[in-house]
Amino acid sequence: MALRVVNAKVLSICTLLLIFLATLAHFFSSRDGPHVAADAGSRLVSGNHQVPYVPSNWRTRKAKPANATLDFQEILYISMPYRTDRQDAMSLLAAATGLKVTLIPGVDVSTMHPKAKPLLPFVDPAKANDSFLGVWRAHANAWRHIIDHDVATALILEDDVDWDVHIKDIMGLWSFQLRYNNSLLSPSPSSSSSATDKSKNQECPYGCAWDELYMGQCGNTPNPDDRRHQVYADPHSPAVSTHTDPIVEEMTQHWNVSRDAAALRIISPTYGPLCAMGYAVTRLGAMRMLYQIGGWRGFGMGVDNEIAFRTQEGRLRGWTLSPPCITAWRTGGARDSDNDGDSAERVDDKGNAGGFTRGLKESARKAMERLLGETVDRRVEELLGR
């Protein structure tokens, strides 16, 4: 009888102990699991959001700086052959920030044979020789380079861009968000899980579920029917007010972010990006662009508009970074445009040294003055920490 009482007491104590351990395990798993509050970047603006909002959650992994090609296989930049001034600047800019870039020559529309021109069903025949056709051909040549050389991913730049001195950190952080923290993938549980698993592989630095990535747009129209977006903290993102008017309008009117807000970025599904100063494509994305825009089918507007239209039709998919981290460098004169070709207007600006940019916390072009413009002795002392 006494033995039975002892056994009953032992059983009761074990049961209570198991209940206690299960409760403790549940408590700690809920702290680290999917119900954690939004991260620091999310808290910056979540109070103001009037649109459907998808916060990002902390992960145990940490973002790493991108490599010399910003974790793409190649960085290509387009420049007219006669713009050696811009090519000099791009070589200096890339070297100063530890990047490796490859030149894709721009195309003068007058050199295009009539038989090689794509169908332009919506273009006035009198405008069939306009510069927009040469711009398209140069971007098409970049797409073809990616296809022919079996390039998995490439960043395509125009030759008048600027970026932050911390561009490797900025892009590494964005890559981390798309690979490990992306809550914007397809609502379908099966497709989302599959894309997420693939994205974590080393072969997909920015995730696998995209044809195009935009981080160098001069304006952006988000999808009015798909308000999904994800906010994250980026210490290298300047105040919204420092950007150009179209970017400020997007951030304040569409995403309900204050003009004074800083240190944040927003990821959203690509829909209506404007300008093609900086965008990345996969090899399949390049194939789709070449097929849809001039390489097989005709088109009727600038290459940036055509990419946006094909995206809105669902023929391309991708992600857009707002505000952008690649911006235009301006000198304030005729040097800023190549649309006049060889019959250029008189150059009346102050050149690259007198140029300016908007929307960067630490312009890499401006920083070159500190790196290369000071006297040698002063720079050596700085490097030696004296």
Each residue's pLDDT tens digit, 186-238 = 544 444 445 555 555 556 889 998 999 999 999 999 999 999 999 999 999 99
The continuous run of DSSP H or E covering 13 comes out as helix 2-32
Strands (E) across the chain are located at 74-79, 102-105, 153-158, 161-163, 212-214, 219-221, 230-233, 264-269, 272-274, 278-282, 318-322, 326-330, 356-357
CA of residue 32 relative to chain centroid, distance: 29
**pTM for this predicted structure:** 0.79
Contact 41, 233 (CB under 8 A): yes
Question: CA-CA distance, 30 to 128, in Å (whole number)?
Answer: 62
What Cα–Cα distance (Å) separates residue 28 from each residue in 25, 33, 35, 60, 377? 5, 8, 12, 15, 57
Altogether, the residues listed in the chain come to a count of 386
Give the pLDDT of residue 31.
37
Beta strand 230-233 pairing with 264-269: antiparallel
Give the pLDDT of residue 363.
97
Question: CA-CA distance, 255 to 51, in Å (whole number)?
Answer: 7
Give the pLDDT of residue 326.
98
Give the pLDDT of residue 130.
80
Give the pLDDT of residue 244.
96
Question: CA-CA distance, 202 to 198, in Å (whole number)?
Answer: 9
Give the pLDDT of residue 204.
85
User: Which letter does DSSP use for residue 215 in this model?
Assistant: S
Question: CA-CA distance, 140 to 269, in Å (whole number)?
Answer: 23
What Cα–Cα distance (Å) separates residue 386 from each residue in 124, 168, 311, 370, 372? 65, 27, 54, 16, 18
Question: CA-CA distance, 322 to 318, in Å (whole number)?
Answer: 13
Is residue 323 reached through a cis peptide bond, with omega within 30 degrees of 0 on the bond before it? yes
- Find tokens 């150009």 and name the residue: 244
Give the pLDDT of residue 3.
45
Contact 212, 279 (CB under 8 A): yes
What percent of the chain is predicted at pLDDT more than 90?
A: 59
Closest CA to 219 of 276, 160, 274: 274
Give the pLDDT of residue 255.
96
Per-residue pLDDT of 40-78, as tens digits, reads: 333 333 334 444 444 444 445 789 999 999 999 999 999
Query: For the ranges 23-27, 99-103, 119-123, 352-356, which has the lowest average pLDDT?
Result: 23-27
- Find tokens 């981390």 and name the residue: 176
Mean pLDDT of 100-114: 95
Query: For the ranges 76-85, 186-195, 253-262, 278-287, which has the lowest average pLDDT?
Result: 186-195
Per-residue pLDDT of 301-324, as tens digits, reads: 899 999 999 999 999 999 999 999
Residue 112, pLDDT above cutoff 80: yes
Residue 384, pLDDT above cutoff 70: no
pLDDT band at 26 (very low <50, low <70, confident <90, very high): very low
Helix/strand/coil for 114: helix
Question: CA-CA distance, 234 to 174, in Å (whole number)?
Answer: 9
Give the pLDDT of residue 353.
78
Per-residue pLDDT of 117-146, as tens digits, reads: 888 877 766 666 688 899 999 999 999 999
First to last CA, the chain: 86
Give the pLDDT of residue 166.
98
Residue 281, pLDDT above cutoff 70: yes
Give the pLDDT of residue 173.
98
Per-residue pLDDT of 160-169, as tens digits, reads: 999 999 999 9
The CA radius of gyration of the chain, in Å to the nearest whole number, is 26
Long-range (24+ apart) CB contacts under 8 A made by 22-26 are none
- Rounded to the nearest 5 percent, the helix, strand and coil shares of the chain are 40, 15, 40
| Neighbouring C-beta atoms of residue 193, cutoff 10 Å | 12
- Find tokens 């210490």 and name the residue: 235
More confident residue, 345 or 155: 155
More confident residue, 87 or 378: 87
Give the pLDDT of residue 27.
42
The set of residues, in sequence order, having a beta carbon less than 8 Å from that of 208 and lying 6+ positions away, is 195, 198, 199, 201
Contact 280, 156 (CB under 8 A): yes
Domain ranges of the chain: 37-386
Residue 113, pLDDT above cutoff 50: yes
**Helix segments in 81-129, DSSP class H:** 84-96
